[in-house]
Amino acid sequence: MERRAFTRLEIAFVVGVPLAWGLLLMFHPTGDTAAFYPVVSDEVAAWEAVHIGMMLFIPLMAGVVYLLLRGVGGSAARLSRWALVPFIVFYTAFETLVGTGTGIVVNEVNGLPAAEAATGQKLAEALGESAIPAAFSVIGSVAWFVAIAAAAVALIRQAHAPRSVAFLLALSALPIVVHEPPFGPIGLALFAAAVVIYVRSQAEARKAPVPAAQPRVA
């Protein structure tokens, strides 16, 4: 498969998407408690905005990986492309249920009388701890790990990317799926750095002079 140079628009996309997602995650509400309700109750609007945005960035990030692998052949590249599908499906499902779903429930609970609020809070916590979204999170996260690991291998073997690209991609995988700040923004910054190094390496390789053919000795 022939690899063509990235256009300026494509470079803006593969670098801008992770950076924009990292910026969005800076507004993710956080707290010292493991419970959902105390974290979300006073910042429902921010919680919903961040998680609705994540539902858009998940497929966009998959698109970034797919574009980086354009023209890269081999079994590792194919595995990475296939792993992007369950990542999009299951991690988006997780974010829909636990992200936007919890925000909707908490917003309704905030409007309940005090006598009913305790029950509503338990419902919000139960949604966040449900086995179904937890399973979606695990499947989506594992799919992302596979996609990133296979992409790193493919870029090293087939596109001759610097090893620092694989190292940064590997470091970025876990913080990205954790996604809460500071982990998510750090992981996405590492991912963006890997992309910049890879794009530059490809541009430099294209500028390198082609060795002249040696004359054949009779």
Q: How many structural domains does the chain have?
A: 1
Q: Is residue 132 domain-resident?
A: yes
More confident residue, 37 or 169: 169
Position 128 pLDDT exceeds 90: no
Phi, psi of 65 (to 5 degrees): -60, -45
- Biggest alpha carbon distance in the chain? 98
What pLDDT does residue 33 have?
58
Helix (H, G, I), strand (E, B) or coil at 43: coil
Residue 75 belongs to a domain: yes
* Token code pair at residue 169: 């991609």
- Per cent of the chain over pLDDT 70 is 92
Mean pLDDT of 170-188: 96
pLDDT score, position 149: 97
Q: In the prediction, which pLDDT does 179 show?
A: 93
For the segment 28-39, what is each residue's pLDDT rounded down to a tens digit? 998 765 677 888
* Residue 211 predicted with pLDDT over 60: no
Which of 204, 179, 200 lies closest to 28 in space, CA to CA? 179
In a domain, residue 216? The reply is: no
* Model pLDDT, residue 215: 59
The answer to whether position 136 is within a domain reads: yes
Q: How high is the pLDDT of residue 214? A: 58
Average pLDDT, the chain: 90
Residue 187 inside a domain? The answer is: yes
Positive or negative torsion for Cα 89, 92, 97, 101: negative
List, for residues 93-110, the tens digit of each pLDDT value: 999 998 899 899 888 888
Q: Tell me the pLDDT band of 42, cut-offs 50, 70 and 90.
A: confident
**In-domain check, residue 212:** no
pLDDT tier at 190 (50, 70, 90 boundaries)? very high
- 40: domain range? 8-206
Interval 64-82 mean pLDDT: 96
In a domain, 213, yes or no: no
Q: Is 82 contained in some domain?
A: yes
Average pLDDT over residues 146-172: 96
Residue 88 is classified by DSSP as I
